[in-house]
């Protein structure tokens, strides 16, 4: 029985680490894309009237990806989380899903910027709604983790992850503001 239990958790750990490696590759691609965009902007020069906003947007999107990669790394390699209360882990899972929805809505806004600017308002509404939901879940986990009798390393691990997820979501709203400026 113990062998089955260990194999089960070993398989889960391997899958989580594999997923993290995928996120890491996305982060590396994002950094490369950011460099290429900045190189293109330098080439276009003064012809682009909103150049600074585009540069800031690229930077904010890079920050979002970096925060998500940092959270994914901690989820994959903080083994202390395997002992955290299940209800906290479930809430963290819900938080992560809502963050993904928020980032996907932002991605849709960026896509619509060049394709269909009139559709941005609806996608922007989803970003804001999801960000509000993320804040609620984040606060709930934060309060609950502080009120539980957790070991210090469990508490720090949980808070590092949820802080990175919340920071990434806050940055989506910053990116949305920049997209609004670019629409003008």
Domains of the chain with CATH codes:
2-183 (1.20.58.220)
DSSP alpha helix (H) spans, 47-151: 51-77, 86-115, 120-147
Q: pTM of the full predicted structure? A: 0.78
**CA–CA separation, 1 vs 180, rounded Å?**
57
Residues 6 or more apart in contact with residue 29 via CB below 8 angstroms: none
**CA–CA separation, 53 vs 59, rounded Å?**
10
User: Tokens standing for 32?
Assistant: 């490369």
Beta carbons of 179 and 54 less than 8 angstroms apart: no
Q: How large is the angle between the packed helices 152-183 and 86-115, nearest 10 degrees?
A: 20
pLDDT one-digit tens code per residue, 11-59: 666 777 777 777 777 767 766 766 666 555 555 454 456 778 888 888 8
């Amino acid at each position: 029985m113990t062998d089955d239990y260990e194999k089960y958790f070993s398989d889960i750990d391997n899958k989580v680490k594999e997923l993290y490696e995928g996120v890491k590759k996305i982060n590396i691609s994002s950094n490369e894309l950011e460099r290429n965009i900045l190189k293109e902007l330098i080439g276009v020069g003064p012809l682009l009237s909103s150049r600074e906003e585009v540069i800031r947007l690229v930077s904010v999107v890079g920050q979002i990806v970096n925060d998500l990669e940092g959270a994914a790394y901690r989820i994959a390699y903080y083994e202390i989380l395997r002992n955290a209360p299940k209800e906290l882990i479930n809430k963290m899972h819900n938080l992560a899903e809502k963050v993904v929805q928020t980032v996907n809505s932002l991605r849709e806004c960026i896509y619509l910027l060049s394709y269909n600017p009139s559709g941005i308002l609806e996608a922007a509404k989803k970003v804001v709604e999801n960000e509000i939901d993320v804040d609620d879940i984040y606060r709930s986990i934060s309060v609950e983790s502080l009120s539980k009798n957790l070991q210090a390393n469990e508490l720090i691990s949980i808070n590092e992850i949820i802080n990175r997820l919340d920071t990434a979501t806050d940055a989506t709203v910053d990116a949305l503001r920049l997209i609004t400026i670019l629409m003008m």
